[in-house]
Amino acid sequence: MDILAAATGLGGQVLGFAAGAAEGGGEGGGLTINVFWIVVASLNFVLFFALAYLIVLKPVGRTIGARRERIEQGLKDADAARRDREAAADQRQAILAEARREAGEIIARAQRLADETREQGVAATQAEIERKRTQADAEIEAERQRALNTVRAQVADLALLAAGKVVGETLSDQRERRLVDEFLAQVTAQAPGGAERN
């Protein structure tokens, strides 16, 4: 209240001085300086500044300081997050490289297994073909022997019939048949390629 009264008094003093100067001068007609009112005005300014500092500037300073601390903490957190992100990216790259290496190994193993399976299949197929070829050769040889035996028997019968016609009687004796078989065996052995066929 005292400050307000002093400020009001100072305002009245200034207005009185201005009014006196406007009337054309008073007694002194010059500028008078009142030290007391200058000190009061200075104290009023200091008091106003102190109140403004306490009411406005100090809370604003605290708010700005708190914001500065939050910003610095945020920058620290952002830097830590950036380092964590870089570490995670490096770890992810390492995991991807490991996964690629394992995938390559799996593909190589699968390729080897497929090649081995294919080679085993080819070998089994070739063995089966060879077995069937051997079996077919044996069947062909057996059939050739049967055909040859049939032809020998027919030739023997024809030879016996021919000999019977020449001699005039039927040859049916075992001894005569054996003689014809021996003759046919000799003819077959002397024929070109006959030794290989027997």
Task: Please enumerate in sequence order all residues whose Cβ is within 8 A of that of 198, keeping only pairs 6 or more positions apart, or say none.
Answer: 188, 189
Using alpha carbons only, what angle is made at residue 172 by residues 169 and 176, rounded to the nearest 5 degrees?
Answer: 100
Q: What pLDDT, on the 0 to 100 scale, is given for residue 2?
A: 59
From CA 132, how far away is CA 136, in angstroms rounded?
6
Percent of the chain with pLDDT over 70: 74
Q: What is the DSSP string of 59-100?
A: HHHHHHHHHHHHHHHHHHHHHHHHHHHHHHHHHHHHHHHHHH
pTM, two decimals, is 0.36
From CA 112, how far away is CA 167, in angstroms rounded?
80
pLDDT at residue 150 greater than cutoff 70? yes
Question: Per-residue confidence at 11, pLDDT binned at 50, 70, 90?
Answer: low
Distances in Å between the Cα of 170 and the Cα atoms of 27, 150, 156, 180 are: 197, 21, 13, 14
Q: What pLDDT, on the 0 to 100 scale, is given for residue 154?
A: 79
Higher local confidence (pLDDT), 169 or 134: 134
Tens digits of per-residue pLDDT, 76-130? 999 999 999 999 999 999 999 999 999 999 999 999 999 999 999 898 899 999 9
**100-129 burial code (b ≥16 CB/10 A, e <16):** eeeeeeeeeeeeeeeeeeeeeeeeeeeeee
Question: Per-residue confidence at 18, pLDDT binned at 50, 70, 90?
Answer: very low
Q: What pLDDT, on the 0 to 100 scale, is given for residue 19?
A: 46
